[in-house]
Amino acid sequence: MGSSPARLDPGQILLFDADDTLWENNIYFERAIAAFISYLGHQIHSAEEVREHLNACERATIAQHGYGLRSFRRSLLACFEQLSGAPITPEKHERIASFTDIVAKHQIELLEGVVDALPELAARHRCLMVTKGDPEEQRAKLERSGLSQYFAAIEVLPEKHEDAYHALAQHHGCEKAITWMIGNSPKSDINPSLAAGLNAVFVPHGRTWVLEHEEINRPHAGRRLVQCERFLDLTLYF
């Protein structure tokens, strides 16, 4: 992890994750899931067991249909059907689907320091937004966030794995030695970008989605991994 911050030369390429890096995201899913679990009101399985089953449903749905709200809705419906052991009536279907409105309809809540640091970073460096999920949903959130002006390009990838970072670096002409992936997810932001030979900045978020947890690996020789506890601290390095 980084120790003594010394600001790097201007002209670095900063790749920003969006969900839970620039703005709150997972907390809305957590609220929707809590509402779902209480609606299911399972007689045998505990809330933790229901949650674990939902995680399994989510892994399966994502593998087949990718990320995004439509996938999340499918996962809730599958979980309900499997645990209640009965087909879902149209009324129940509608009620379960309505829990995803908690995620769909919230205001964009920028994380602390973003509104101050991002303009400064964008003035000194080339900033790209690199997120995953449903392209329409992610672009709509960026629009609502008011942050579009700071990004030279937007990439919404189906999955953020090592190959995706190789392809992205090539596509956008990112010299790897001066390219940094910045995000909250060890699994999607940090480990695959380090594996692809980029530098990375881990900005932890206390409510990171459990499916994104992973132990952090080491960077390639000559590359760096920095941890910033606060988004604003990015301005100490960049």
| Interface ranges with Mg ion (CB under 5 A) | 17, 19-21, 184-185
Q: Smallest distance from the beta carbon of 133 to Mg ion, in angstroms? A: 10
Rounded to 10 degrees, the C-alpha dihedral 115/167/195/198 comes to -50
Other beta carbons less than 10 A from residue 123's beta carbon: 10
Choose between 80 and 231: whose C-beta lies nearer to Mg ion: 231
Alpha-carbon gap, residue 137 to 131, rounded angstroms: 11
Q: Smallest distance from the beta carbon of 121 to Mg ion, in angstroms? A: 17
Q: Smallest distance from the beta carbon of 156 to Mg ion, in angstroms? A: 13
Choose between 20 and 155: whose C-beta lies nearer to Mg ion: 20
Choose between 21 and 179: whose C-beta lies nearer to Mg ion: 21
Q: Smallest distance from the beta carbon of 68 to Mg ion, in angstroms? A: 14
Choose between 74 and 205: whose C-beta lies nearer to Mg ion: 205
Contacts of 88 (CB under 8 A, 6+ apart): 77, 80, 81, 96
Other beta carbons less than 10 A from residue 21's beta carbon: 23
